[in-house]
């Protein structure tokens, strides 16, 4: 799943480790999310949306699935 995590993280000036610390996940999880190798759980997606103060759909692109 495509996402804007790397861009949003960059706007905050955070490293992958810093974002991981905010989310209580590993840096490897953040890397897998950013590269699209891992789709987040719904609770993690909501946590990201709250952290970046933006709707989930502006962070993640499901490829137009409906």
Contacts of 37 (CB under 8 A, 6+ apart): none
Q: What is the 3-state secondary structure (H, E, C) of 30-55?
A: HHHHHCCCCCCCHHHHHHHHHHHCCC
64: confidence class by pLDDT, cuts 50, 70, 90: low
Helix axes 16-23, 42-52, angle to 10 degrees: 110
Q: What is the pLDDT of residues 3-44, one digit of tens each?
A: 999 999 999 999 999 999 999 999 999 999 999 999 999 999
Under CATH, which number does the domain 2-53 receive? 1.10.260.40
pTM of the entire structure?
0.88
- What whole-number distance in Å separates Cα of residue 58 and Cα of residue 21? 22
């Amino acid at each position: 799943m495509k996402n804007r995590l790397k861009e949003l993280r960059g706007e905050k000036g955070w490293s992958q480790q810093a974002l991981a610390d905010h989310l209580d996940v590993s840096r490897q999880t953040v890397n897998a999310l950013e590269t699209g190798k891992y789709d987040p759980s719904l609770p993690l997606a909501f946590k990201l949306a709250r952290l970046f103060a933006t709707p989930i759909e502006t962070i993640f692109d499901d490829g137009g699935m409906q």
